[in-house]
Amino acid sequence: MDVDKELREAVHATSREVAEQVSFSAALEERIRKEMKRQTKSRRKTVVMSGTIAACLATAVWIGQQQGMFTMEGTRASQTPSSEQTNEEKANVSAKEAFAPLLSTLPELAGLRLEERGRVGDIKQVALLKGDRYEGEFAYNTTTGQIQWYRYEKEEAREGDLPDLESAMQKAIAFLASVLGEESKQYAHISSHKLTDEGMRNGTWMNVTFQKEQEGARIPFDIISVQIDSKGQVAFFGRTNKEEQELLGKLTKSLPELNPSPTLDNKSMYYDGFEIMLGNADDDWSQALISVSGKAEDLRTYRLTQEVGIWKEAPEALAKITANNFLQDMLGADSKNYRYSYKNDSIEYQRYYNELPVMNDTIRISVNQAGRIVYYSKEAMKKYELASFPDGKTAVSVEKAKKEMEANIKLNYLQHFPVNRDRASGKVTQTKPLLEYTMSVSTPQLGQPSSLGWYIEGTSGKIAYSTGNNGLDYDRRKEQQAYAFQPPESYVIVTSKEEAKKLLQKEFGVSVESFKYAEYDNRAPQSNQVRKNYVWTDNSEKRYEVETDKQSGRVMGLAMPRQGSQVTIKRAEAEEAALEMLVKYIDPAVKEVQLAEVVEPGAATPVASGNWGFEFFMSKDGIPVLDKQPNEAYIVTVDPATGKANGFENRRETDAHVELPGATSVISKEQAVEQYLRAMPLQLVYLLKNEDNEWLDRPILAYIPWSHDENAGKHLHIDALTGEIVKEP
């Protein structure tokens, strides 16, 4: 019953209308998880139970397909401001006109509806729909009508035998001749091979690649690929445009090993630009993933992948020299505005302006032991005029910012603070309880973090909190209400299907005798605990579920569907019902809880119940108690129509009881802030994103904690009893 932060946010962003059009393939799960990890937008959470996870993933895919991207920045490509978009009136080629050559060549496309989606400059993306269901897409230049890529991948064509090389090549040649006409004669066949993509596209095709030739010489990176599926149909067509060819040529100045005659394995619209996957990158590296902003004005990401083996990092001195040279080659004079920040698994550079760091504008470069660039990423792609940066002199004083810290620093228990760790495996071998002072319960405090849990707005001097781990909104809600009660003497135990059936009858008054039944095991990600699930599904595909610890049989979760669609129950009544449910199934050693989050009810969708959601930390004397990371200990949902609890989830990492120290002799808040600032002094910076990780219209000044270099990326804690700064090993 665990749903991580990224999936919850994906659900919140999903509308009911689009979700109803979803079809799901389980193989897409890894794709979504990879993509969602790159998204850090924060929103009010929506409760999602385990039965909806498949629909959640599918909906996220559907949205990505419809928009042509997964939007990290909260703006679709069609909303991206650019000088080209102001010239839209000059675009003479309609989607229907651009589609005509494809339609005349591929009869299977007859009857599909065209719907315009994303746009970057003069490149427009068009979805191919059957009714309202996504079937494929193509993109074209609105000025010239030239097709940039086309994709139509039928699920049934992803299995079965592929055509032989010769047949695939002849099919591809005929396709190009029909679609490109005379232009196809400028391209010579250079390779044919089987392409398997188990990540983003989950399929296998025969990939046939052509390269432009002039006077017997190949034009570097001017390539076209056609992919043929098991039905002998064209599943993909893509080509590099002039801007992409120029960027790839620029890359070869620093990376001479990059093959000028690669294959084009994939191409798509990505954020406010494009992403291309090159195969046959060179002799040692199988693929190069390249994403750009706009029409390849900026390189956003460059990543090499190997078929076998993992690359080893270069020594620090070699890595710095290589990364510095690459930075200069890619950015030219602008490279002087980036300063070395630190080295972890990559070299990180931070942009500066007026001698102040510009947060959210960083570059990371990884170098392998051979001195080759294998990874490059540039976070900030949104352009800001220099005049939009406020004068640093308008910020409040550091002393005023410190007073705001003193007003907001708070106590927090960690049950299992790591004391020792095995060097070989990295596993924690010894822990102890820790009472700490922290500025944010919902987020772990890292030295020189890549993302912020809190900051003090520079001109107002007021603190701003982001949503924390797993979407927790504990800190900025400032609702620190604890509940004490007498816990049960023992766990509720379920060890069989029949016992699970009886528990559902007892708890919810529902008989599942005639429903479809399934059971399965799963491993809880926060603890590696194996859980057993007993699941019944009614005729409406609604789930009734009991989840247990497989070894002991203790009940870890319960769920039943929401009844009706009304939202009539107020918070006080729902909260009382949640506590009544919680006290039945809470761990016997826990005598107090504190609200960590309250999720408001709403309309039900295929991926979200719309229930009231109450999420609890364990607590002691009103102080939150965490296992290791900021996670809810328990979640209870309440039906907003009936006022009855309809879900429970135990998210604790362990049921072990830990004796916690008292909080009667802690240092003062003023002392705690002084210690905090010794390890992480306040630094005045420019922020390009707000507390919800959304791009701002203009930069703002802010004070953020900025650790010394030796603490970069490390977990730092203030011992509330001794005042010492302690680091995790």
The pLDDT of residue 45: 38
Inter-helix orientation angle 316-331/242-254, to 10°? 150
CB contact at 8 A, 604 and 542: no
Taking only the tens place, the pLDDT of each residue in 394-419 is: 999 999 999 999 999 999 999 999 99
Q: Using the predicted structure, report yes or no on whether residue 539 has a pLDDT greater than 80.
A: yes
CB contact at 8 A, 324 and 312: no
Taking only the tens place, the pLDDT of each residue in 637-657 is: 999 999 999 999 999 877 888
Q: What value does the mean pLDDT take over residues 687-706?
A: 91
CB contact at 8 A, 166 and 176: no
The pLDDT of residue 308: 67
Query: For the chain, percent helix, then strand, then coil, each to nearest 5?
Result: 25, 35, 40
Residue 410 has φ and ψ, to the nearest 5°, of -145, 165
Q: What value does the mean pLDDT take over residues 198-218?
A: 91
Percent of the chain whose pLDDT exceeds 70: 86
What are the C-alpha distances in Å from 9 to residues 111, 463, 467, 533?
35, 24, 11, 25
Percent of the chain whose pLDDT exceeds 90: 63
Q: What is the C-alpha separation between 656 and 89, in angstroms, rounded?
A: 67
Q: Which residues lie closer than 8 Å to 121 by C-beta, 6 or more apart?
A: 82, 84, 85, 294, 295
Q: What is the C-alpha separation between 717 and 729, in angstroms, rounded?
A: 12
CB contact at 8 A, 140 and 95: yes
- Of residues 726 and 605, more confidently modeled: 726
- Of residues 199 and 347, more confidently modeled: 347
Q: What value does the mean pLDDT take over residues 271-300?
A: 89
Q: Using the predicted structure, report yes or no on whether residue 719 has a pLDDT greater than 90.
A: yes
The pLDDT of residue 14: 35
Q: Which residues lie closer than 8 Å to 622 by C-beta, 6 or more apart?
A: 480, 482, 592, 594
Q: Using the predicted structure, report yes or no on whether residue 327 has a pLDDT greater than 60.
A: yes
Q: Using the predicted structure, report yes or no on whether residue 703 has a pLDDT greater than 60.
A: yes
Q: Using the predicted structure, report yes or no on whether residue 210 has a pLDDT greater than 50.
A: yes
Taking only the tens place, the pLDDT of each residue in 303-315 is: 998 766 678 889 9
Over the chain, what is the mean pLDDT?
Answer: 84
The pLDDT of residue 603: 86
HSE-up (13 A, CA, CB side) for residue 327: 27
Predicted confidence band at 91 (pLDDT cuts at 50, 70, 90)?
low
The pLDDT of residue 342: 76
CB contact at 8 A, 676 and 439: yes
The pLDDT of residue 261: 95
